[in-house]
């Protein structure tokens, strides 16, 4: 049985980092990237914990093992992760179109647990846990990550804008 909750322990945060490492572009084949998607941002324990202390990350657990996560990134962390700085700069240009949003800093489901509705349930849980403080969830997706784009559209995300940063195309989407 899968349990959806928020991260509360250092062990859970470490498990998030292990799952992240398994799904970076350098850890998966080209075919797997195309079929299954990948994660882009590499976090360290300190920033992951600091983000979690402000707005707890959403996790899915099977027993004691984290099998999926959706990272909650309060806007106050906009300048903490280099690869995400351009997204926040682009968002500043959209005001007042998008206001009072929490950023979903990364979402990942372990390979053995995909296609079971966990992705959708992570976002439902994130909405339920953050709706008192934020009226929308926003994230960006590497434009080459077709699997992630399709999955986000399937749960109701809408495209806000596409932009280029560091010779890469990104799609900013919101729910």
Let me know: does 59 contact 117? Beta carbons within 8 Å.
no
Q: Give the residue, 13 or 99, on which the prediction is more confident.
A: 13
Give the span between the Cα atoms of 74 and 136, in whole angstroms. Answer: 12
Cα 127 from Cα 125, distance rounded (Å)? 5
Q: Report how far residue 63's alpha carbon sits from residue 97's, in angstroms, rounded to the nearest whole number.
A: 41
Q: Which sequence spans correspond to the domains of the chain?
A: 2-174
What pLDDT, in 10s, does the model give residues 92-103? 777 555 678 899
Instruction: Please report which confidence band the pLDDT of residue 129 belongs to, taking 50, 70 and 90 as the band edges.
Output: very high
Helices (H), the chain: 10-22, 30-36, 45-54, 85-92, 118-130, 146-154
Going from the C-alpha of 46 to that of each of 43, 51, 83, the distances in angstroms are: 8, 9, 17
Place of tokens 């079971």: 116
Closest CA to 4 of 96, 127, 166: 127
- pTM of the predicted structure, to 2 decimals: 0.90
State the pairing for strand pair 136-142/101-109. Answer: parallel
Least confident range of 31-40, 64-73, 123-132, 133-142: 31-40
Q: Does domain 2-174 sit in CATH 3.30.56.10?
A: no
**Tokens in use for 170?**
């990104």
* pLDDT given for residue 17 in this prediction: 98
């Amino acid at each position: 049985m899968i349990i959806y909750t928020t991260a509360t322990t250092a062990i859970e945060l470490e498990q998030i980092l292990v799952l992240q490492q398994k799904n970076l572009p350098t850890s998966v084949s080209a075919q797997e990237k195309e079929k299954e998607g990948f994660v882009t941002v590499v976090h360290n324990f300190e920033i992951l914990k600091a983000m979690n202390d402000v707005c707890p990350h959403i996790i899915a657990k099977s027993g004691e093992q984290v099998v999926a996560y959706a990272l909650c990134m309060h806007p106050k962390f906009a300048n903490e992760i280099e690869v995400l700085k351009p997204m926040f700069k682009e968002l500043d240009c959209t005001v007042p179109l998008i206001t009072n949003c929490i950023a979903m800093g990364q979402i990942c489901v372990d390979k053995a647990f995909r296609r079971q509705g966990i992705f959708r349930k992570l976002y439902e849980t994130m909405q339920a846990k953050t709706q008192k403080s934020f009226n929308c969830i926003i994230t960006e997706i590497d434009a080459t990550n077709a699997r992630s784009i399709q999955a986000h559209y399937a749960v109701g995300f809408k495209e806000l804008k596409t932009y280029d940063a560091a010779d890469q195309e990104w799609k900013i989407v919101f729910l």
